[in-house]
Amino acid sequence: MDETIEPLQLLPMPHLVEARCAGDDWAGISSWTVRKQRQNRLNQRAYKQLSTTLAVMVASKTIKFDPYEHYTLPADHLLTLVRYNLYRAVAANSWSLGIDPRLMHSDIPSPFESNDSTISRLCLSLPPSLHPTVLQRTVPHHPYIDLFPFPAMRDFLIHMGDDIDDDSLCADVAGDAPDSGSSEHTGIIVWGEPWDPFGWEVTESLWIKRSNFFKGVPGILHATNHWRQLRGEPPLAEIT
């Protein structure tokens, strides 16, 4: 009697996307130091590749102009750069948490949910704005929440739980795509370091649409109005 041999199915291993040799594989490594070294090596390699890819994408959309002429960047190209800065900030904060940003689309747990001693070491390496709150340490949630450098905002999202549409929120934060026909950005803008809350600005349309989301978040209005003032725009009003 002939036996049917089932073919061996090889599935992709997301944590080894940037691996080049067996020495890059951190799975099954019990030593925290060795595992972290390998993860950092892969993360840095992936981040460089991601940054290069995005830079090429942005560069391919820029306009070549006469160096002897002053040129104002068109609105659609400015929107591309603004959107890129937001993605760069999200990716950078994700790497800081030890998470490949490409895994954010997956249903993965927050690293702060673990009681492992490595979490304490992770917190020591994080800037104060990204340190986990009590809720982040005790309530299961998706790690996209951990990327915002505003503790009160993170706690609000955790409190909301399933009452908030994550996909809709992320789309609003990202804003309209450059090819949407919109002449202005409608999401969040990041001007400074990704972990610095003072570098994050909320556009007026998002401020109005998601007023409950930003209410009770200290500093975000002050930071937003700082950047608006530099452009000569009127300040946004406090949410009551």
Q: Let me know how long the chain is.
A: 240
How many Cα neighbours within 13 Å face the side chain of 37?
7
- 56 in a domain, yes or no? no
Looking at per-residue confidence, does 151 or 7 come out higher? 151
What are the tokens at 44? 């840095």
Q: Name the pLDDT band for 104 (thresholds 50, 70, 90).
A: confident
The most confident of the ranges 12-26, 30-44, 191-205 is: 191-205
Q: How many domains does the chain have?
A: 1
Written as one string, the DSSP assignment of the chain is: -PPPPPPPPPPP-GGGTT--SGGG--TT---HHHHHHHHHHHHHHHHHHHHHHHHHHHHHHSPP--TTS--PPPHHHHHHHHHHHHHHHHHHHHHHTT--GGGTTS----GGG---HHHHHHHHHS-GGGS--HHHHHS---GGGGGSS-HHHHHHHHHHGGGS-HHHHHHHHH-S-GGGS-SS--SEEE-S-TT-GGGEEE-HHHHHHTHHHHTT-TTHHHHHHHHHHHTTPPPPPPP-
What are the tokens at 209? 């649409």
Task: Give per-residue pLDDT as tens, 182-194.
Answer: 556 778 989 989 9
pLDDT higher than threshold 90 for residue 87? no
Question: How confident is the model at residue 32, as a pLDDT?
Answer: 62
Task: Give per-residue pLDDT as tens, 36-77.
Answer: 666 666 566 655 555 555 455 444 444 444 443 444 444 444
Distance between CA atoms of residues 217 and 224, nearest Å: 12
The pTM of this model reads 0.63
In contact, 115 and 217? CB cutoff 8 Å: no
- 51 in a domain, yes or no? no
Point out the least confidently predicted range of 16-30, 134-148, 165-179, 213-227: 16-30
Q: Name the pLDDT band for 84 (thresholds 50, 70, 90).
A: confident
- 192 in a domain, yes or no? yes
Q: Name the pLDDT band for 5 (thresholds 50, 70, 90).
A: low
Percent above pLDDT 90 for the chain: 25
Structural domain that includes position 135: 76-230
Q: Compute the mean pLDDT over every residue in the chain, rounded to the nearest whole number.
A: 75
